[in-house]
């Protein structure tokens, strides 16, 4: 098992109560070097962030402010406007319990793995993982992400090709949330209503 290093310093974490936006786009497969502005344009809202060196987290706590049906896991240098690596899928897929072995759960072109007392992350679709406890495999390394979820530890370890990031305050793990399906905004409903009224009037004139 990869050695975990404890530290007394606990970094700041951010949990945001999120009213999830409507996702206009859910990217298929793992993505690299995507700006935060692009992700926001897709309809995702940040609901959690903490540095890789933040200790004492639980997955339940990390997800407490993330209400929505689509989750995105992402990693970036602390404070950066560009995500090094990210992946998204339905909430159920991203949090599907795969145990502590090397079994993954394929969803949206990504190999997901999750256990709330081992590790959490992903690899490119079709790629194998080697969890010990985080994934140390090197195939398509840039498209891999792994966070420790050991109770009382929960630090980070991998952000693409960057590994060994336990207790690293220079890297940030981020969770974003969106709703894949949403009712139309009131303005859209009003426009649809006007269009239907116009169509009805046109039909009446034609009939007359």
Token look-up 């897929």 returns 93
Question: Tokens standing for 206?
Answer: 């034609």
| Cα 67 from Cα 130, distance rounded (Å) | 30
| Each residue's pLDDT tens digit, 47-98 | 999 999 998 889 999 999 999 999 999 999 999 999 999 999 999 999 999 9
| Each residue's pLDDT tens digit, 85-133 | 999 999 999 999 999 999 999 999 999 999 999 999 999 999 999 999 9
**pTM value surpassing 0.75:** yes
- What are the two backbone dihedrals, phi and then psi, of residue 203, each rounded to the nearest 5 degrees? -65, -40
Q: Residue 165 gets which letter from DSSP?
A: -
């Amino acid at each position: 098992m990869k050695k975990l290093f404890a530290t007394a310093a606990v970094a700041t974490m951010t949990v945001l109560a999120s009213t999830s936006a409507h996702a206009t786009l859910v990217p298929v497969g793992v993505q690299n070097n995507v700006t935060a502005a692009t992700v926001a344009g897709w309809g995702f809202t940040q609901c959690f962030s903490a540095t890789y060196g933040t200790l004492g987290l639980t997955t339940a706590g990390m997800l407490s402010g993330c209400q929505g049906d689509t989750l995105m896991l992402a990693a970036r240098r602390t404070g950066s406007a560009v995500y090094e690596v990210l992946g998204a899928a339905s909430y159920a897929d991203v949090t599907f319990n795969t145990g502590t072995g090397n079994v993954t759960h394929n969803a949206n072109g990504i190999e997901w793995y999750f256990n709330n007392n081992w590790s959490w992350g992903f690899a490119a679709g079709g790629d194998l993982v080697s969890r010990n406890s985080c994934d140390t495999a090197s195939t398509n390394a840039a498209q891999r992400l792994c966070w420790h979820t050991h109770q009382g530890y929960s630090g980070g370890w991998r952000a693409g090709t960057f590994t060994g990031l336990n207790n690293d305050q220079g890297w940030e793990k981020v969770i974003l949330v969106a709703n894949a399906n949403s009712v139309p905004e009131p303005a859209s409903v009003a426009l649809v209503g006007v269009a239907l009224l116009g169509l009805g009037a046109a039909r009446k004139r034609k009939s007359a």
